Amino acid sequence: MVLAIVRKELRETRLFAALAIGLYLVYLSALTAKWSPLVTAFLNWVPWTSEEAADVPFVQDNFASILCFIGAALAIALGFRQSAWEPSQGTALYLLHLPLGRRTIFVTKLLTGIGLLLLCMLFPILIYGTWAAIPGTHPGPFEWSMAGHAIHAWLVMPLVYLGAFASGIRPGRWYGSRLLPLAAAAFCSLMLAFLPHWWLIAFPLLLLVAAVLVSDILWETSTRDF
């Protein structure tokens, strides 16, 4: 039954994931100068596709920023699609009548969404890092430690997803109050991404904020009358 829910969530969110992967591939093609003539002619109007390959990958380019931008859009889309969509389409009642507890159902949805988000964001990091590690692809040096900012962005982005999920599952007539969890999660993500001594300070705080958001989601789903 859990696997059936996982398949349902992947089926309903695969379009968002495919779009994000496509955008990442376009950007990676620009960074690595692997354009095809057809793609070049079609996407000349996109501003960030004009970026040239940097001498030092991950350091002299905007990879981390684009990774965050596309990842945040994907996280918000996934969060709202997996939460607000169910009650609005009337499928929440069917889902909650499955022979599983509410906590199990929503934990499965959360784990599926976070897993999909992390996989989609990890893909461009590995592709770009592998390209940078191949000798002769660029004039500068490269070590995997240079991808530190991208890794930090990858790790904090689930907070944005949890904030979007919490906002989507939260009942309310005022959009300002409903979007409060998303705004708080986005602010925390931005702050955590730039804290010094990341693994000693930011990562424990990241786990704490994630635990608070998950607790809020599970409390809301267990007490809400769908």
pLDDT (tens digit, 9 = 90+) per residue, 162-216? 999 999 888 766 666 788 899 999 999 999 988 888 899 999 999 999 999 999 9
Q: CA-CA distance, 100 to 196, in Å (whole number)?
A: 43
Calculate the alpha carbon distances from 143 to 58, 59, 64 in Å: 10, 11, 16
pLDDT at position 158 is 97
**Distance of alpha carbon 88 from its chain centroid, rounded?**
23
Label residue 136 left, alpha or beta by phi (over 0 means left) and psi (-120 to 50 means alpha): left
Calculate the alpha carbon distances from 122 to 9, 20, 119, 177 in Å: 20, 12, 5, 32
pLDDT at position 47 is 55
pLDDT at position 48 is 52
| Per-residue 3-state assignment (H helix, E strand, C coil) for 138-171 | CCCCCCHHHHHHHHHHHHHHHHHHHHHHHHHHCC
Mean pLDDT (whole number) for 134-152: 86
* pLDDT tens figures, 34-71: 655 555 555 555 555 555 566 788 887 888 889 999 99
Q: CA-CA distance, 220 to 171, in Å (whole number)?
A: 9
Nearest partner of 160 among 204, 209, 199, 108, judged by Cα: 209
pLDDT at position 151 is 94
